[in-house]
Amino acid sequence: MRAAADRRFRLLVFDWDGTLSDSTTIIAEAIQSACRDLALPVPDDAAARYVIGLGLADAIRTIAPRLPIDRHAHFAQRYRDHYLLRENAIPLFAGAAEMLGELDDAGYLLAIATGKSRTGLEAALADSGLVGRFHATRCASDGQPKPHPEMLLHLMDVLATEPAETLMIGDTTHDLALAQNAGTDALAVAYGAHAADGFGEYNPLATVDSIEALRQWLRAGG
């Protein structure tokens, strides 16, 4: 790990689902099941994974554009019902907790920017043993969802960091667009919800294909 004086970044902001948590398959399948429940066209895996990271309202509008707005709450409830049946089985990616501990011990500021609700993130942190690991968190239910820059702007304000000192780390184009809109650098991970071939237009500093590769990149380039 680089000495603090030699580091490019002070604040590392992680997405949750698909970046730290191996949850993308369960989320995509819950979306597909909710569509079946409401007799809607069922998206394929790629389309279901595409909306991961968006706020739930934006995800519903994208997945089911013809669904009347007065039925959105029903869709959301059916999605939650399917997701919650499997929520306790969702693991962190192997090595993620150890990586976060190493970064925390080294003095980095750690934060989360996620499309999850506040209730959902608090449950996930408790289940994964990471309560207290992050210096700040921001959820879609707290304000504007991705890719609006508000999440990162809020975290930088709370933690008194500048865009040049902040790195967004995520597995979707929504994460990379969030960083671009907020004026920060981004690092893409290719083991989550989105295929890496869509990352290039957002100019991430790099794309890594595992937690271990992410850990090594942060040791050398963070």
Q: Which residues are catalytic?
A: 15, 17
Angle between helices 150-159 and 173-182 (to 10 degrees): 60
Neighbour tally for 41: CB within 10 Å: 10
Q: Are 166 and 158 in contact (CB under 8 A)?
A: no
As a dihedral over the C-alpha atoms of residue 128, residue 156, residue 49, residue 98, rounded to 10 degrees, the angle is: -30
Q: Work out the burial of residue 199: count CB atoms within 10 Å of its CB; fewer than 13 is exposed, 13-18 middle, 19 or more buried.
A: buried
